[in-house]
Amino acid sequence: MKVHELRLRSSWLVVKVRLLQLDGRWLASADTPDGPHLGFGRLPEEAVIEALEPFAGIVDELMETVPDQFYWIRAGG
């Protein structure tokens, strides 16, 4: 089981996200000031977006910084 670690950036903060596939579904955990926030999804992108919910208003900006090796996340496959 491989955990992918991402550091997503906005113009004013960096968010550490961990992403893991479990039984055909994806689990993401984003670090927030209040502790980790979890997201689940059939696709990795769904899980990451849900985990980023506490950062409403800048989720799109954060998702734009997904590293090149994780473009499959943004493509939904």
Please give the model's pTM, rounded to 2 decimal places. Answer: 0.85
Token pair for residue 17?
A: 């996200």
**CA 64 to CA 67: how far, in whole Å?**
9
**pLDDT of 77:** 43
**CA 19 to CA 47: how far, in whole Å?**
8
**pLDDT of 49:** 94
Task: Look at the domain 4-75 and name its fold.
Answer: Double Stranded RNA Binding Domain (3.30.160)
Q: What is the DSSP letter of 3?
A: P
Question: What are the φ and ψ backbone dihedral angles of 57, each rounded to 5 degrees?
Answer: 100, -25
pLDDT one digit per residue (tens) for the chain, 77 residues: 789 999 999 999 999 999 999 998 999 999 999 999 999 999 888 999 999 999 999 999 999 998 776 655 444 44
